[in-house]
Chain A
Amino acid sequence: MRQEAMRVLAHEKIADAIFELKLKGGMVNEITEPGQFVHIRVGGGAQTVAPLLRRPISICSADPSSEIMTLIYRSGGLGTGLLSQAVVGEKVDVLGPLGHGFPIDAVPAGGKALVIGGGVGVPPLYGLSQALTAQGVQVTHVLGFRSAKDVFYQDAFEKLGRTIVMTEDGTCGQKGRVTDVLNTVDFDVAYSCGPTPMLKALEREITEKPLFVSLEQRMGCGIGACMACVTHTTDPGDSKGYRRVCCDGPVFKAREVELC
């Protein structure tokens, strides 16, 4: 983990309020797993106090050979709104890589993985799918969005494997939710990131095979010290009784912790 002023190489809007940001810096060499995240201080160079706290953003993909990582985020509030104005060449204050990502070795060699994403939870699954396919795993993607205007990276995922896009209004791909098509896919291990109601539904549906979920939670420090992002373990006999999403996660085994 390091704090680094990373240079903006590219920054563009790729869907409604969704931005793709490419950053260059030595930190990229420290990324060990897909599903890790970075903590960005927006406007940090000016010691601004609004916004004060860092913003956790998942790593979409990383290329150590060029020291470039790609982040995809949704611009909504004050912090991400300011971040979306960062221009090429600008330096961004990044802390990372943080957290534990998806275990790619959970899939046996030559096995099949199911990758399920919802909305702005989709980005880290791209790096995951890259890593899985590089290992010879056959990956099927089920990606849910609200509407056609929200869809991104469909082509990129299709290059890696079968990709089923679901939209709530049917304006792109199939109409419905990601859970509607799970029984059409054969897989050994499932991985997911997306809104909590979706993760809860997946935990109910996928009980026979391993499932890993990536959680989102309001964070303070991002490194495990402030206890802002804790969630209860489901096992009442657990010695600690809680996990910190930022450093014990954000990826957990299904049903290991309460989804909140």
Chain B
Amino acid sequence: MLNVHLPGLDLKNPVMPASGCFAFGKEYGNLYDLNVLGAVIIKAATLESRYGNPTPRVAETPAGMLNAIGLQNPGVDKIISQELPRLAEYDVPVIANIAGSEMSDYVQTAEKMSKQPVVKALELNISCPNVKHGGITFGTVPEIAAELTSKVKAVSEKPVYVKLSPNVTDIVAMAKAVEAAGADGLSMINTLLGMRIDLKSQKPVLSNLTGGLSGPAIKPVAIRMIYEVSQKVSIPIIGMGGIQNADDVIEYFLAGASAVAVGTANFVDPFVCPKIIKELPEKLNGMGISDINELVGRSWKHA
């Protein structure tokens, strides 16, 4: 009922924690058995270690939050040696998020990561709004996104999902550009660029000034973009943005997603992923649906 098959990924269910919201699974692995998850998308890896931005790094907003962590991670080599062995003990596919500031960083990081047996797919992060160079530039210019995608595809032993930024005027053009460059799938969406200003200090709350908006506030934006993109590409979409419950998952499928990732909600309720996975079959039964894959894109297929 919940099984989903995507390039490189045989998932027992379509629910996975989103990159950056689950670290490398250790903390949540202390709370529940990670084997219940469809997959785990691990925190972005860069070629070298990164400390990230100064604090404050998070600020709450209505129905959402801004973050400007800045891709803090110990670097790809340490992730491979210190984090992946623990994840390899589980029967859960790992999707490795790859970030960088130069094309060559991305390529080297992707090459190393894709060789790891536990890593079943890469998620190419061309959309982090919180790093000064690269990241977002790769995610806003279709030609550059396509060039990076094809370079990473050339070295990767595993399928590559490109994580798109919503901070563009034409999301369909971005999606088609990376599809043409060989992307095996899409992740949609990364955070929306935002800001909060403190009334007392009269300055931006985040030390990075801007941050990425996530949480329920961005769900309608993600739904709209997936609705548009899924009708124009033939590669699958992992949908994300503000998912909190099984109803949200179903809405993403109806929009055109073939799997989903849960991000900010893990902070609100650390048990949210297992709760959603448990809740889904009952919801589908209630709809008379025996296979969740039947729901993909129904909102526009019926139109």
Contacts and interface: CB of A to CB of B under 8 A. Distances in A.
B55 A226 contact: no
Interface in A116-165: none
Given A3-B270, A53-B267, A226-B21, A220 B58 contact: yes
Interface of A: 1, 3, 41, 44, 47, 49-54, 95, 217-232, 240-242, 247, 260
B63 A49 contact: yes
B62 A218 contact: no
Interface string B35-63: 00000000000000001101111111011
B52 A230 contact: yes
Chief secondary structure at chain B's binding surface: loop
A202 B161 CA distance: 51
Given A44-B268, A221-B266, 18 more contacts: A3-B270, A3-B271, A49-B62, A49-B63, A52-B64, A52-B215, A53-B267, A221-B270, A222-B267, A223-B270, A224-B27, A227-B52, A228-B55, A228-B58, A228-B69, A230-B51, A230-B72, A242-B72
Given A49-B215, A230-B72, A1 B244 contact: no
Contacts of B51: 230, 232, 241-242
A228 B57 contact: yes
Interface in B1-47: 20-23, 26-28, 30-31
A115 B57 CA distance: 31
B245 interface: yes
A237 to B, nearest CB: 15
B190 interface: no
Contacts, number: 100
Interface of B: 20-23, 26-28, 30-31, 51-52, 54-60, 62-65, 67, 69, 72, 74, 215-217, 244-245, 264, 266-271
Contact of A52 (B31, B268, B270, B271): B268
11 contacts: A1-B31, A52-B264, A95-B270, A217-B55, A218-B58, A219-B58, A225-B23, A227-B23, A227-B69, A260-B54, A260-B55
Nearest to B54: A260
Contacts of B65: 52-53, 220
Contacts of B21: 221, 225-226
Nearest to B20: A226
Most buried by A among B67, B244, B269, B271: B269
Nearest to B31: A1
Contact of A225 (B22, B57, B245): B22
B133 to A, nearest CB: 20
A156 B161 CA distance: 59
Contact of B67 (A49, A50, A228, A231): A228
Contacts of A41: 268-269
